[in-house]
């Protein structure tokens, strides 16, 4: 039985005061959690929120990371720094990083390795655009994104990773993939990993992301290969996120 993971990707939202209220509400509701809950606030808030989460079961993650360990990389933050301020996870390869900041598969693979290099858990995002889905190349795209990481990190690395399938057309659009669409791609991802190592494939936690909300969470999480969610907009509302977590648990 794979333990569900619920990750909240706050993106570039929040203030110190708003964060404190949101985190308070999540901590209050988290006692019964039968899943791993992780929140991913903007970098500047990680330290403070990490302090607030201390002694709570909620994990802390970053939304991105630099592939380099240290040095002259103005504006960047290393995996070791994320660990130093209390992170346990880092998202790599989010479609907004791929699209808006031109991150390619090779860079995402290096970020994945950097994150594992300091014993943090990478949440690797993969997913196709609307155009790619309409052209019928969804599996080809997801395979390419996965294989780029497998080539650099190796199959064993997936025993210590989480993968999130996030169809780009479903992110922030209010238009989620149907449970059947999500399940089909999740099964494809698991099969691809299992072909290299059946045990790792079986244990790999696969999250769905893209317009997850309390109203659609249960039917998505009911799918056999959907082990939780990567939640954007709905993770900014405490009651909504708590209900989504409950649907996963
Ligand atoms: P959304 O974002 O839930 O707002 O669609 C998901 C994500 O980008 O991780």
Nearest in space to 182 (alpha carbons), one of 117, 105, 127, 144: 127
| Contact (CB, 8 A) for 137 and 143 | no
Nearest alpha carbon, ligand 1 atom 9: 232
231 Cα: distance to centroid of ligand 1 (angstroms): 5
Q: Environment class of residue 218 by beta-carbon count within 10 Å: exposed (0-12), middle (13-18) or buried (19+)?
A: middle
236 token code pair: 């900014």
Domain segments of the chain as ranges: 5-248
Residue 107 has a CB neighbour count (10 Å cut-off) of 17
Q: Does 93 sit in the ligand 1 pocket, CB within 6 Å?
A: no
146 Cα: distance to centroid of ligand 1 (angstroms): 20
The pLDDT of residue 249: 86
pLDDT digits (tens, 9 = 90+) for 138-185: 999 999 999 999 999 999 999 999 999 999 999 999 999 999 999 999
How confident is the model over 73-92, as a mean pLDDT? 98
Counting every residue, how long is the chain?
249
Nearest atom, ligand 1, residue 95 CA = 8
Residue 69 has a CB neighbour count (10 Å cut-off) of 13
From 96, 132, 166, 240, the catalytic residue: 166
The pLDDT of residue 31: 63
Q: Across the chain, what does the average pLDDT equal?
A: 97
The pLDDT of residue 150: 98
Q: Is 190 helix (H, G, I), strand (E, B) or coil?
A: helix
| Contact (CB, 8 A) for 173 and 130 | no
Q: What is the pTM of this model?
A: 0.98
State the pLDDT confidence band at 1, using cuts at 50, 70 and 90: confident
What does DSSP say about strands 121-126 and 89-92: parallel, antiparallel, or unpaired? parallel
Q: Does 236 sit in the ligand 1 pocket, CB within 6 Å?
A: no
Pocket test for ligand 1, best of 89, 127, 177, 210 (most atoms within 8 A of CB): 210
153 token code pair: 């990190």
The pLDDT of residue 184: 98
The pLDDT of residue 30: 82
pLDDT digits (tens, 9 = 90+) for 15-25: 999 999 999 99
**Domain 5-248 CATH class label:** alpha beta
State the pLDDT confidence band at 230, using cuts at 50, 70 and 90: very high
| Contact (CB, 8 A) for 225 and 186 | yes
Nearest alpha carbon, ligand 1 atom 3: 232
pLDDT digits (tens, 9 = 90+) for 8-67: 999 999 999 999 999 999 999 886 568 999 999 999 999 999 999 999 999 999 999 999
30 token code pair: 């988290």
How confident is the model over 64-86, as a mean pLDDT? 98
């Amino acid at each position: 039985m794979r333990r569900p993971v619920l990750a909240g990707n706050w993106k570039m939202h929040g203030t110190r005061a708003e964060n404190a209220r949101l985190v308070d509400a999540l901590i209050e509701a988290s006692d019964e959690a039968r899943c791993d809950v992780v929140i991913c606030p903007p970098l500047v808030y990680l330290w403070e929120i990490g302090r607030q989460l201390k002694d709570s079961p909620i994990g802390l993650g970053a939304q991105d990371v630099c592939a380099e360990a240290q040095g002259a990389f103005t504006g960047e933050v290393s995996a070791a720094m994320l660990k130093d301020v209390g992170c346990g996870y880092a998202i790599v390869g989010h479609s907004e990083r791929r699209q808006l900041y031109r991150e390619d598969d090779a860079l995402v693979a290096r970020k994945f390795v950097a994150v594992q290099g300091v014993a943090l858990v990478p949440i690797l995002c993969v997913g196709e655009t609307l155009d790619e889905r309409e052209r019928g190349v969804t599996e080809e795209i997801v395979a390419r994104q996965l294989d780029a990481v497998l080539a650099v990190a190796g199959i064993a690395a997936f025993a210590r990773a989480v993968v999130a399938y996030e169809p780009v057309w479903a992110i922030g659009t209010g238009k989620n993939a149907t449970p059947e669409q999500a399940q089909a791609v999740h099964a494809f991802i698991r099969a691809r990993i299992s072909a290299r190592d059946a045990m790792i494939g079986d244990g790999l936690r696969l999250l769905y992301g893209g317009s997850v909300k309390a109203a659609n969470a249960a039917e998505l999480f009911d799918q056999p290969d959907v082990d939780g969610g990567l939640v954007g907009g709905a993770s900014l509302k405490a009651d909504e996120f708590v209900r989504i977590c409950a649907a996963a648990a």
